[in-house]
């Protein structure tokens, strides 16, 4: 079923949101996460997806920071998370990734090398928490 057909009968956010809750087809959820205009519905769809490679793509490609962070919440691959914490262009997304890291060596690298003072500070605080 195409996304346009799924939402053809409704323009209401709540109705569309409930419709997403009933979707079992992973490809349909990915289509919504990738192509839906309303970022709130993209967030909702992303929360049902556990495909790390796809989530990483959303984190780098989506235009909305909240969608990126929702995708990051479901991401489990430590190497992907580390790469995002070190290299993502958005400091808020890097900070959200740091919150998922418990490797003090990775955190130390971020604290020493990130260009953003807030990111460095969060990495240092996280190191103190885990020691």
The answer to whether the beta carbons of residues 106 and 87 sit under 8 Å apart is no
Q: Is residue 71 domain-shared with residue 40, that is, in the same domain?
A: yes
Give DSSP secondary structure letters for 72-121.
HHH---HHHHHHHHHH-S-HHHHHHHHTT---HHHHHHHHHH-S-HHHHH
pTM for the predicted model, two decimal places: 0.90
87 belongs to a structural domain: yes
Two structure tokens written together for 101 = 């890291």
25 lies in which domain range? 12-76
Q: Is residue 20 domain-shared with residue 71, that is, in the same domain?
A: yes
Q: Is the pLDDT of residue 5 over 80?
A: no
The answer to whether the beta carbons of residues 19 and 44 sit under 8 Å apart is no
10: number of Cβ within 10 Å: 13
- State how many domains the chain has: 2
Question: Which pLDDT value is given to residue 13?
Answer: 87
Q: Is residue 36 domain-shared with residue 67, that is, in the same domain?
A: yes
Question: Which pLDDT value is given to residue 128?
Answer: 96
95 belongs to a structural domain: yes
Stretch 22-42: mean pLDDT:
96
Q: Is residue 46 domain-shared with residue 17, that is, in the same domain?
A: yes
């Amino acid at each position: 079923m195409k996304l346009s057909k799924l939402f053809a009968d409704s323009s209401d956010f709540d109705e569309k949101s409930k419709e997403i809750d009933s979707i079992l087809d992973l490809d349909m959820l990915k289509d919504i996460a990738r192509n839906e205009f309303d970022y709130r519905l993209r967030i909702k769809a992303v929360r049902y997806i556990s495909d790390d490679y796809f989530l990483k793509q959303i984190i780098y490609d989506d235009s909305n920071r909240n969608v990126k962070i929702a995708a990051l919440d479901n991401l489990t691959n430590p190497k992907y998370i580390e790469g995002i914490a070190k290299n993502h262009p958005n400091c808020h997304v890097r900070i959200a990734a740091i919150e998922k890291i418990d490797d003090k060596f990775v955190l130390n690298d971020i604290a020493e090398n990130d260009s953003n003072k807030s990111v460095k500070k969060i990495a240092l605080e996280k190191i103190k928490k885990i020691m």
